[in-house]
Chain A
Amino acid sequence: MKAKVLFAVALIAIALVAVACAPAATPVPAFTPPADAIGTVKIGPSDPIHIAYMMVTSGADGSLGIDSRRGVEIAIDDKGGKLLDRSLKLDGQDSGCGAEPGQAAAAKLAADATILAVVGSSCSSEIRAGGPALSKAGFSVVSPSNTAPDLTDPAKRFAGYFRTAHNDKVQGAVAAQFALKQLKLKTAATIHDGSPYAQGLAGVFVDEFKKGGGTITAQEAVGPDDKDFKPVLTKIAAGKPEIIFYPIFIAAGSLITTQAKTIPGLEEVELMAADGTFSPDMYKAAGKSAIGMYQSSPDFSAFAGGYPDVLAKHQKKYNEKPLSAFHAHAYAAAMIIFAAIEKSRGEGSRWFVVHRSPSIARRDPKDEWVQGRNRHDHLRCERRLRRSQDRGVQSDRRQCEQTPDTRQAVLETVIACHCEE
């Protein structure tokens, strides 16, 4: 059984360095369908296994969700479109990267009792507003790109919520440590764009950088639609920082990259962005200025074997390079859900803890991505298993939360995560 799990996990392209903490398999002799109507999904022999996404797929932020959805689609292709001899059905809702559309999308998903699990959301705001509805409907939700740390805070976490995305605490800390220790810099400035993601990440960076003995010369903020960053950079230049950390998105991020070096006083400054700009569009938009800048991001190159394969499939299927960094997380999220459904067939619910490793990559003048030196192996994601049985997958969505021992297991996992983060 364990080998099978490992096989499924190995498919997950972003390196699953180890499968740990998997509670020892305690076979459940006879499956008794839970009496709870919400927790039970009856899937007949000819019914599809229905997975939904909840992502932003339209508008200006659309590329984030489209990228993630593609990750899920590739995962389905890798499964041959089938799971447990049933076809896999994927549909979903556009959650608009905002609280209101997120809640509406969640309400629509929650009304559909055939859905087994949800991959999403794209933005933290969506899940904060929509999470309770999904949770109440009993779904497991695995997010590929929610990075707000407190979403998995045991006090706030919605029942059934998980993520494969790394959180801001990890990435911000990794970036700050990298600037301090690898680049040996002492002064830094940050810019965020007023998005929850960027504000949070910049905040973590500031805290960690100060903790490590560095000085923050300026904490600036701009608007996501701004174009002229020369004034704010001029102001930053007065503080003479050695590095500027701007964990924002491509449009503004590329302009800051091109404009920074033209500002008197910033000619020698190091630039560092985060995974929000981890996209070919960024290098196209920033052109030559991007050479030599740093970015933190999930480390795909460390994930032996699987990822290039996914990339090739992506190229073949969509005829372009990935739009952002999160398709891999989405692929992993989908695979985790599939594995859970497959694995839990007739067995008990169970939790897994997966180690992943983000790192820092540097873009060198030869236009190649070189493996960063700072390995940070403690980013975890949680995943949840679903109980099912051979004849009509009957999934129990609440079992984990209801029986005392599994509940404890859930909490232990989450707490363990938070201790290490």
Chain B
Amino acid sequence: MLAKKLKHLELTDVFIYLLGLAIVAVVIIGSIATLIQAKYALRAWFDLVLFGVTLGSIYALIALGYTLVYGILRMINFAHSEVFMSGPYIAYFVADAMSKAGLVEQNPLLTVIIIFIVAMLSSTLIAILVERVAYRPLRHAPRLVPLITAIGASFFLQYTFFRLFGPNLKVYPAINLFDASIAFGDFKITYLQIFVITAAGLLMLALHQFVQRTKIGKAMRAVSEDRETAALMGINVDNTIVMTFALGGALAGAAGVLYILVFNQVTAFIGFVPGIKAFTADVLGGIGNIPGAMLGGLFLGVIESLGPTLFLDGLGIAAPYQLKDAIAFTMLVLVLIFRPAGILGERLTEKKA
């Protein structure tokens, strides 16, 4: 019996590793084929990586919100994507008013600062509201119950914005703050790209310090380790959880502003895709792990931007960018085959997972 079982186990293991190797082989062969054809200039590769890093740093910022909440409550906060959307959506009305008042042209810097403040506040507020209404009453319910309320809250928020403010695309006024660019020989970086990457990096660093150094951060870590013990140690668990949601919300709001600085338009549905991507980034990096979220976000952004061209173009696959999400998810499977708990994740015990 035991021998039989062992044999069985081996079979599946062999299958898994073969699958992993097959993916790696396709990636390597595809990349070599693409590079040999030399259709793309070095500058193009540089640009692709740069686009990926820019988008990836936004993913990473959103991913932090998921990871913070996951660390504490062990739940996927599906409504986080709508927290991300709501900030820039509400800030749009302020930006629009400022544009009509001529402020955007006069003082673009002030405009951006105001947009940041409004968006971060709105997102924070929505995050706290969602926690209060949809999650807190279910603190001790089985895992899937808050998952369903999270999905419900996500739909509710999406369609609330959609119905309240209409189906039209909301287009931000052009903010001429980051239009210039720096050139290094053939390579060019716009101020906007520099700003997005730096801002995201600084915010992540700030969060890391906050969680490591401050008292609230310590409380958050304690609650994430063991809620009951933390409560016994005199930590107000409910407040700590609200703080976590607020922090995640503020980061999502900031990510939202970076997002509209790059893409300039909001609808009620812009949160959905980045939300899924950010959560994927979390899982890639190791869920509940802050550096992991950053790493996962950047990895995903770069794979999405670079992957289709690098891996698939050389293989002669038609319209590779249509498959960019398929590539991203395949990479996720690949990572999880070799590291089931993500790149930086520790092996989770049953209780945590």
Select which of A221, A225, A227, A238 is within 8 A of B319 by beta carbon. Answer: A221
Q: Which residues of the partner chain B approach A225 to less than 8 Å between Cβ atoms?
A: 269, 272-273
Q: Which residues of the partner chain A approach B309 to less than 8 Å between Cβ atoms?
A: 231, 234-235
Q: Is A63's CB within 8 Å of the partner chain B?
A: yes
Q: Which residues of the partner chain B approach A255 to less than 8 Å between Cβ atoms?
A: 263-265
CB distance B313 to A235 under 8 Å?
yes
Q: Is A281's CB within 8 Å of the partner chain B?
A: yes
Q: Is A45's CB within 8 Å of the partner chain B?
A: no
- With A231-B52, A231-B306, A264-B43 known to touch, is A222 a contact of B322 (CB < 8 Å)? yes
CB distance A234 to B318 under 8 Å?
no
Instruction: A262 to B193: give the CA distance in the assembly, Å.
Output: 13
Instruction: A63 to B169: give the CA distance in the assembly, Å.
Output: 11
Select which of B43, B167, B171, B190 is within 8 A of A62 by beta carbon. Answer: B167
Select which of A60, A262, A284 is within 8 A of B269 by beta carbon. Answer: A60
Q: Is B39's CB within 8 Å of the partner chain A?
A: yes
Interface string of A207-221 (1 = CB under 8 A from B): 000000000000111
Instruction: A221 to B265: give the CA distance in the assembly, Å.
Output: 21
Select which of B308, B320, B322 is within 8 A of A194 by beta carbon. Answer: B322
Q: Which residues of the partner chain B approach A250 to less than 8 Å between Cβ atoms?
A: 169
Instruction: A237 to B320: give the CA distance in the assembly, Å.
Output: 15
CB distance B44 to A285 under 8 Å?
no
Q: Which residues of the partner chain B approach A152 to less than 8 Å between Cβ atoms?
A: none
Select which of B188, B267, B321 is within 8 A of A220 by beta carbon. Answer: B321
Instruction: A225 to B55: give the CA distance in the assembly, Å.
Output: 15
Instruction: A235 to B318: give the CA distance in the assembly, Å.
Output: 13
Q: Is A258's CB within 8 Å of the partner chain B?
A: yes
CB distance B51 to A228 under 8 Å?
yes
- How many whole Å from B297's CB to the nearest CB in chain A? 14
Q: Which residues of the partner chain B approach A237 to less than 8 Å between Cβ atoms?
A: 44
Instruction: A285 to B39: give the CA distance in the assembly, Å.
Output: 33
- With A238-B40, A284-B171 known to touch, is A219 a contact of B318 (CB < 8 Å)? yes
Interface string of B47-81 (1 = CB under 8 A from A): 11001100100000000000000000000000000
Q: Is B214's CB within 8 Å of the partner chain A?
A: no
- With A227-B263, A228-B55 known to touch, is A222 a contact of B318 (CB < 8 Å)? no
Q: Which residues of the partner chain A approach B39 to less than 8 Å between Cβ atoms?
A: 238-239
Instruction: A62 to B272: give the CA distance in the assembly, Å.
Output: 18
Q: Which residues of the partner chain A approach B44 to less than 8 Å between Cβ atoms?
A: 234-235, 237-238, 264
Interface string of A264-291 (1 = CB under 8 A from B): 1000000000000000010011011000
CB distance A232 to B47 under 8 Å?
no
CB distance A60 to B167 under 8 Å?
yes
CB distance B169 to A230 under 8 Å?
no
Q: Residue on B with the closest CB to A239?
A: B39
Instruction: A281 to B169: give the CA distance in the assembly, Å.
Output: 7
Q: Which residues of the partner chain A approach B106 to less than 8 Å between Cβ atoms?
A: none
Q: Residue on B with the closest CB to A235?
A: B309
- How many whole Å from A41's CB to the nearest CB in chain B? 35
Instruction: A7 to B158: give the CA distance in the assembly, Å.
Output: 47
Q: Is A251's CB within 8 Å of the partner chain B?
A: yes
Q: Which residues of the partner chain B approach A219 to less than 8 Å between Cβ atoms?
A: 318-319
Q: Is A223's CB within 8 Å of the partner chain B?
A: yes
**Docked complex: A171-223 residues within 8 A CB-CB of B:** 194, 219-223
Instruction: A235 to B267: give the CA distance in the assembly, Å.
Output: 28
Q: Is B304's CB within 8 Å of the partner chain A?
A: yes
- How many whole Å from B188's CB to the nearest CB in chain A? 7
Q: Is A164's CB within 8 Å of the partner chain B?
A: no
CB distance A264 to B188 under 8 Å?
yes
Q: Which residues of the partner chain A approach B304 to less than 8 Å between Cβ atoms?
A: 228, 231
Q: Is B280's CB within 8 Å of the partner chain A?
A: no
Q: Which residues of the partner chain B approach A194 to less than 8 Å between Cβ atoms?
A: 322
Q: Which residues of the partner chain A approach B171 to less than 8 Å between Cβ atoms?
A: 254, 284-285, 287
**Docked complex: B81-103 residues within 8 A CB-CB of A:** none
Q: Is B12's CB within 8 Å of the partner chain A?
A: no
Q: Which residues of the partner chain B approach A221 to less than 8 Å between Cβ atoms?
A: 319, 321-322
- How many whole Å from A322's CB to the nearest CB in chain B? 12
Instruction: A262 to B273: give the CA distance in the assembly, Å.
Output: 24
**Docked complex: B251-277 residues within 8 A CB-CB of A:** 259, 262-265, 267, 269-270, 272-273
Select which of A60, A220, A234, A258 is within 8 A of B48 by beta carbon. Answer: A234
Residue in B168, B267, B321 with the greatest tally of chain A CB atoms within 10 Å: B321
- How many whole Å from B162's CB to the nearest CB in chain A? 8
Instruction: A145 to B188: give the CA distance in the assembly, Å.
Output: 43
Q: Residue on B with the closest CB to A218?
A: B319
- How many whole Å from A223's CB to the nearest CB in chain B? 7
Instruction: A311 to B320: give the CA distance in the assembly, Å.
Output: 42
CB distance A254 to B321 under 8 Å?
no
CB distance A220 to B169 under 8 Å?
no
Q: Is B9's CB within 8 Å of the partner chain A?
A: no
Q: Which residues of the partner chain B approach A239 to less than 8 Å between Cβ atoms?
A: 39
CB distance A251 to B272 under 8 Å?
no
CB distance B305 to A223 under 8 Å?
no
- How many whole Å from A323's CB to the nearest CB in chain B? 8
**Docked complex: A281-329 residues within 8 A CB-CB of B:** 281, 284-285, 287-288
- How many whole Å from A88's CB to the nearest CB in chain B? 27
Which residues of A pack against B, CB within 8 Å? 60, 62-63, 194, 219-223, 225-228, 230-232, 234-235, 237-239, 250-251, 254-255, 258, 262-264, 281, 284-285, 287-288
Q: Can you list 5 A-B contacts with CB-CB less than 8 angstroms, sorted by A residue number?
A: A219-B318, A231-B304, A231-B308, A238-B44, A264-B43
Given contacts A228-B304, A238-B44, 15 further A-B contacts (CB under 8 A): A60-B269, A220-B319, A231-B304, A232-B321, A234-B51, A238-B39, A251-B265, A254-B169, A254-B171, A258-B264, A264-B44, A264-B188, A285-B169, A285-B265, A288-B174
